[in-house]
Amino acid sequence: MTDVESPPAVDEAASAETPIGPVETARPGRGWRSGWKVERRLETPWFLEVAAIVGAILVAIAVSAILIALAGSDVLDSYRALYNGAFGTRNATIETLVQATPLIFTGLAAAFAFRAKVWNIGGEGQLWAGTMGAFWASLIFAGAMPRALLIVVVMAFAAVFGALWAGIAAVLRTRFGVNEIIATVMLNFVIINVLSYLLSDLWQDPASFYYQSERMPDVVALPRLFEGGRLHLGFVIALAMAAVVWFILERTSFGYEVRSIGVNPRVASYGGIISNRIVLATMLVSGAIAGLAGGSELTGIHLRLQLDIVSGLGFTGIIIALVARLRPVGVVAAAIVAGAVTNGATTMQLSTGVPAALVDVLTGLTLVFVLIGAVVVNYRLRRVSIVEGQA
Amino acid sequence: MNDYVSTALAVTVFVGAVRIGTPLLLAAIGEMVTERSGILNLGIEGILTFSAFIAFVTVDRTDNLVLGVVFGALAGVLVGLVMAVLTVTFKVEQVVAGLSLNLLGVGFSFYLLRAVFDNAASDLPSVRTWDVVAIPGLSSIPWFGEVLFTQHWLTYVAFAMLPLVWLVLNRTGFGLELRSVGDAPGAADLRGVSIERTQYAALAFGGFAAGLAGTFLSIFSTGLFFPTIAAGRGWIALAIVIFGNWRLGRILAGALFFGYLEAYQLTIQGQGTDVPQQLLLALPFVLTLVALVLNRTRSNVPLHLGVPYLRGQR
């Protein structure tokens, strides 16, 4: 109040709010207390994000243990059986990778689209489109070209069919303003009926009563990687796709545009990015990857088109993408974990009677806890000193 | 050809339209209220499945139909509240949270089904169902009596919800607050409206209505449960809210339209037809897309739909 130059007629209320110099009421040692404050981190260290995912998986395992106990089985025995079924022997480990293969594709398909906040929920339908493309290509070209070329063509058809099916939803969104979530879900329901019709008519195995095609010629089968075990070339293609997706997203201008419209479409448009064009391209790429999952499963494992061979893989891919926080490397890791659980659950059901459907609960719970964990690690508790009377 | 037309006009098809439209109507009313508070709940399909299962198990174990409705509805409220914890409290992206609840709802039901019924999926029991309640007097009106007044009591409840929800949304303080939270949460917050409490309430109501819809599927219309019992109805309800432009009258029209479509399809399928069954099954999903393309009025979309509210941020 003494050494500050202030106009003589200071409003009294204002000066009371911003006291200058020592304030009499704030005596040293009085009026201070320490407390905790929740505040947002400016930057979240990577190890915390990893810890959140690991923690989420552990919590999901703990909650699922309750469900196992409710089903009347021994929890430790069940989880031991699950682990042994997944990694107990060399063959079990190979089979785990077999189960992981389609999930890497569908996980990448979802992750790529979600990075642009393009909500492609149609991985399931695009995967079915891929199996149909692959099947059709093998009908046309089997025997007409050398094996290596044939495999390339069959997989290309799978990718193109997946992309086209996704493209319908993309056009519905960009041209007609139809929400892509609804569009892709509806198209899932449509294509399963289309396939069912084809398998009851044009593509039905005349020797069979069931809705299934004839067995495809061995020449289109993807080569196996090892003697014994079903692991096939599709696994290598899946890993290569993970690298390609990473490269596109992180090292190309298209990937930059994809990520930009995901962060803020309006700012992206100021930067000259035409949102609709990127949405369309994103959906086509995402659909192509999902289509490859169909081609890989059909020619790597089943060699016969049936109605239930790949059901659910598209949806599990969504979970995997989200658990992996939309990162390609994470997708591969999460897909292998999910493949292990799927594979181990069969053993678990046989030896302890816990329904293999536990897999769906376990993965679903993991996702929910990962979502919560991902938010929580963005905040921290800090010990702060709080002046009494001030907030 | 004539056959298809006379079937299309048959009374039984219209009776079926109202019955089959009931769960769509319930779920769509609940979703509309939820969306009006600014939350997009994509988990409807999961809620339908889960509540259908809970109602089914309850009746199977207790043989008490009232208890089945109570627990079925509560199951829906429960999932709605989980959605609230995720999206309102933790601000998880709404699309992501809704999708995960879908997957979890279906997964849980499937697991519990196997756990409760000893892996014997092939010979699941069927349970008792509610009987149709003919309203005395009104049900003897020609045509209308049969179509509108010889239905399940939950159908009457669904229809009664329309004016009630309209009144609450448009003529009460709470309704005004709820709509303001969806349109301008910043302003609502400034006026002292609790954003969180309002959105929790809206999600609980949406879950309740979807829970009733799921309950209708298992212990009113079929007496069965199977993991695909919702068969896309949750998604169609979401689409109905969109092309219904968040208005109750158009939502009713949408629900009845899709109810009619399915009733017609079931009838001509029952009569035997040359049209492939799969084409008929795919038709509702194709028509949903057509309806969304043709009907692009979105004037009532809540302005803050899907955007989490963080005080102090735009």
Contacts 24+ apart (CB under 8 A), B243-248: B243/B291, B243/B292, B243/B295, B244/B28, B244/B32, B245/B295, B245/B297, B245/B298, B245/B299, B245/B300, B245/B301, B246/B32, B246/B35, B246/B36, B246/B300, B246/B301, B246/B302, B247/B300, B248/B29, B248/B32, B248/B162, B248/B165, B248/B166
* Closest CA of chain A from B233, distance in Å: 11
Write the residue in A177, A200, A360 that is nearest to B111 by C-beta. Answer: A360
* A187, A190, A359: best to mutate for the B interface, most B CBs within 10 A: A190
Tokens linked to A59: 């919590």
Residue A161 Cα distances to A10, A214, A279, B96, B127, angstroms: 77, 21, 18, 26, 43
The residues with which B134 forms a beta bridge, in sequence order, are B150
What integer pLDDT is reported at residue A389 of this predicted model? Answer: 54
Distances (CA, A) of A390 to A32, A385, A387: 10, 11, 6
Q: pLDDT confidence of A144, banded at 50, 70, 90?
A: confident
Inter-chain residue contact A178 with B292, CB threshold 8 Å: yes
Q: For A7-13, what is the mean pLDDT?
A: 42
Interchain proximity B288–A182, CB inside 8 Å = yes
- In terms of CA atoms, which chain A residue is nearest residue B42? A181
Which residue among B104, B278, B288 sits closest to A196, beta carbon to beta carbon? B278
Q: Which of A25-39, A233-247, B154-168 has the lowest mean pLDDT?
A: A25-39
Q: What is the residue whose two structure tokens read 């020619």? A: A299
Contact yes or no for A284/A278 (Cβ under 8 A): no
- Whether B158 and B16 have beta carbons less than 8 Å apart is answered as no
Residue B174 and residue B194: Cα distance in Å, rounded?
11
Does the beta-carbon distance from B281 to A178 stay under 8 Å?
no
- For chain A, what percent of residues have pLDDT higher than 70? 90
Question: In the prediction, which pLDDT does B121 show?
Answer: 54
On the question of pLDDT at A388 being above 70, the answer is no
Judge whether residue A23 has pLDDT over 70.
no
- Give the phi and the psi of residue B131 in degrees, each rounded to 5: -85, 160
| Between A47 and B239, residue with greater pLDDT | B239
Contact (CB<8Å) A200/B276? yes
pLDDT of residue A20: 44
Of chain A, the end-to-end C-alpha distance in Å amounts to 25
All residues of chain A having their beta carbon less than 8 Å from the beta carbon of residue B99 are 121, 318, 322
- Chain B CB within 8 Å of residue A315 CB: yes
Average pLDDT over residues A163-192: 95
- Range of weakest confidence among A66-80, A260-274, A293-307, B69-83: A260-274
Token readout for A124 is 């399931």
**Taking an 8 Å Cβ-Cβ cutoff, which residues of chain B contact chain A?**
42, 82, 86, 90-92, 95-97, 99-101, 103-104, 106-108, 110-111, 113-115, 119, 232, 235, 238-239, 242, 276, 278-279, 281-282, 285-286, 288-289, 292-293, 296, 298
Per-residue pLDDT, A19? 43
Residue A30, pLDDT above cutoff 80: no
Q: Taking all residues of chain A, what is their mean pLDDT, rounded to a whole number?
A: 87
Q: Can you give the pLDDT at residue A32?
A: 66
Chain centre to alpha carbon of residue B169? 19
Nearest to A367 among B100, B113, B235 (CB): B100
Residue A305: the pLDDT is 93
Those of residues 341-360 in A touching chain B at CB distance below 8 A are: 349, 353-355, 357-358, 360
pLDDT grade for A25, boundaries at 50, 70 and 90: very low
Query: Mutate which of A200, A360, A376 to disrupt the B interface (most B C-beta within 10 Å)?
Result: A360
pLDDT over 50 (residue A307): yes
pLDDT tier at A24 (50, 70, 90 boundaries)? very low
Residue of B82, B276, B296 lying closest to A197 (CB–CB)? B276
Q: Which residue has the higher pLDDT, A373 or A289?
A: A289
- Summarised one tens digit per residue, pLDDT across range A340-383 is 999 999 899 888 888 888 888 888 899 999 989 988 888 888 87
Question: Are the Cβ atoms of B279 and A193 closer than 8 angstroms?
Answer: yes
Select from A80, A59, A77 the least CA-distant residue to A69: A77
Out of A9-13, A151-155, A203-207, pick the least confident: A9-13
pLDDT of residue B19: 95
In the stretch 90-119 of chain A, residues with CB closer than 8 A to chain B read: 119
Mean pLDDT of the A7-14 span: 41
Residue A197 is encoded by which pair of tokens? Answer: 């019709």
Inter-chain Cβ pairs, chain A and chain B, closer than 8 A: 121
pLDDT at A222: 93
pTM over 0.80: yes
Q: Which residues contact B39 (CB under 8 A, 6 or more apart)?
A: B83, B84, B87, B88, B94, B182, B199, B202, B203, B305, B306
Q: Which residues of chain B have pLDDT under 70?
A: 1-2, 118-123, 313-314
Task: Write down the pLDDT at residue A258.
Answer: 92
Q: What's the pLDDT at B119?
A: 54
Residue A29 confidence (pLDDT): 52
B158 Cβ partners below 8 Å, 6+ apart? B22, B25, B26, B29, B212
State whether residue A193 sits within 8 Å of chain B by CB. Answer: yes
Mean per-residue pLDDT, A194-222: 89
